[in-house]
Amino acid sequence: MPRINPERVLSDLRTLATFGAYKTGVHRPTLSDQDVAAREWFAGRMREAGLDAEIDGVANILGRSRATGRKALSGSHLESQNHAGWLDGALGCVYALEAARAIAEDPATADLGVDVAVFCDEEGHFGSFMGSRSFVGVLDESEIDTAVARATGMTMREALTRAGWNGRPRHLIDPSRYDAFFEAHIEQGDTLEHSGRKIGVVTAIVAIWQYRITVLGEQNHAGTTSMTRRRDAGREMIQLLASIDARFQSVAGERSVWTTGRIDLDPGEKSIIPGQAQALFQLRDADPAVLARMEDALREEVAKADDAGRCDISVERLSASTPAIMDARLQDALDAAAEMNAPGMHIRMPSGAGHDAQWLARKLPAAMLFVPSIGGISHHWTENTSDEDIVLGSQVFADAIVEALRRN
């Protein structure tokens, strides 16, 4: 089996962390100067590895192997969340590159090929999975035309033009070329750390169902409007959210999560009864039946609150994705590679976060490997994984790809 080069893996990751370095993490928004430089550098590293690497019209990088045998596709993303960690995305890109290198360097596996892909904007600075959706053929040019960076207001067209990539043809997946897609990622939670394991084998990427709850009351003076007369949108929103949370204790699945990310009371002044309240509410689970049960409960609680209170209450579903089930045979390959390198130290688990792999799974058998996040920290500059765990993960990842291609 191929041996990965630990120094090369860590060195590549540390070099990537210099592009937009922020404290011990990185600030590398999609198509920022730092992100553009990181992409150019990484494309260069692909070419040094013998891959034919090209950056396309949506800033995706595809590095094609010249190997003649069976091939896998592997990769992740290079941009970061704002002021976030050095490994989120970058780890999956470097693991893919290292697998390509190690497999090519070992005469016993040199016939196998790994194409390395870097998908643009997985972190959603401009849109939703622009890069991986482009690659699987579900992104129209018009969506790129209208995409604007939330933080800076710059259009994606302008950012692509600045980078010199606007107007280039976009890479499109050739499913006949690949047996499998593999993506590695930090876990972004503490399941591995908590269970003392080193490798997570992802069973499914959960679906996310998102809602906006709106309560319409009557804005009024907080001193002169009696409790019986007021139609307090904030008060009814609080009562509703508390009742939804209580109800979910019984209807949710074991691994379901639900989050109220935002509450806006209008006008938000201390002496004014809110005339309107809005909340963003989100459910995640890998089982559509569980999600449907939770949505039913959510709608029932909203209807009850609307009947019982003095405000008009409604809920609108903003989006509902489907869970992406990881390929069973590729999960077995990851288990086998993990068992070989770290016996008993692997565990199967769903991914609570979205990943490029959920889009690739529409076209190819797909799999994901997780390495531990220290303290379960994610989307923060203190995110980290020990060097030892990084190196172990890289070896398991390369071995799993070989296992999958050989077994096929």
Interface positions with a second copy (CB under 8 A) = 187-191, 194, 206, 208, 210, 219-227, 229-230, 232, 234-235, 238-239, 241-242, 245, 252, 255-263, 265, 268-274, 280, 282, 284, 351-354, 376-380
The nearer residue to a second copy, 301 or 403, going by C-beta atoms, is: 301
CB nearer to a second copy: pick between 176 and 224: 224
Shortest approach of a second copy to residue 364 CB, angstroms? 23
| 256 or 384: CB nearest a second copy | 256
Min separation Cβ 352 and a second copy, Å: 4
Q: For a second copy, give the closer residue by CB, 148 or 238.
A: 238
180-186 and 71-76 beta bridge pairing = parallel
Q: Tell me the β-bridge partners of 73.
A: 115, 181
Nearer to a second copy, 2 or 127 (CB): 127
Closest separation in Å from C-beta 99 to a second copy: 24
Minimum separation from the CB atom of position 239 to a second copy (A): 6
Nearer to a second copy, 2 or 393 (CB): 393
Q: How far is the CB of 228 from a second copy (least distance, A)?
A: 10
289: phi then psi, degrees, rounded to nearest 5: -65, -40
Least Å distance between CB 258 and a second copy?
A: 8
